[in-house]
Amino acid sequence: MSDLNDDDLIGEEEWTGEEFDAALLEEELRQAAAVLDPVPAELQQIAVDAYALHDLDARVAELTFDSLVDALPVRGVTDAPRMLTFRAGEVTVDVEVTTHGLLGQVLPPQPARIEVLGGPRPGSPLTADDLGRFTGDVPLSGPFALRLRTGGDVVVTEWLRA
């Protein structure tokens, strides 16, 4: 048997029979963790960006081609663009990632609004023209994904590292 009594279990405060305030405890624990073990700002931004990808109506576009994995290297080419192809149902997105940004096309050709997710700051939304072409002049760094809005459909790509 243990030699503990009710005072040892409760601490200095006396148990009054009132309900335990879980929200207050959670807030105190959150404040203690923020002081003792703060989340790095970069990791917090990545988590926020990943949550922003969450969209219940979105279809996930699967990566079907990545030139880093699927293409044969070309001798003498040191700064080749990275070519990516994503597919979600009948929608295909071809993207070329360079050191200067990205350009791509939505197929079948259609207007779309594209959001580049990732990086320390949210990027400007890109617009695909009637032929589905779009460009972005901000270089990608770190993990990124694309969210496309075409008509009533939302398509998101897998997260990749630039």
Give the pLDDT confidence of 145-162 residue by residue, as tens digits.
Answer: 898 998 778 898 988 887
Contacts of 144 (CB under 8 A, 6+ apart): 116, 117, 118, 119, 159, 160, 161, 162
> Which pLDDT score is estimated for 22?
85
pLDDT, greater one: 17 or 128:
128
Three-state SS at 150: strand
More confident residue, 137 or 18: 137
Cβ atoms < 10 Å from Cβ of 147: 19
On whether the pTM is more than 0.85, the answer is no
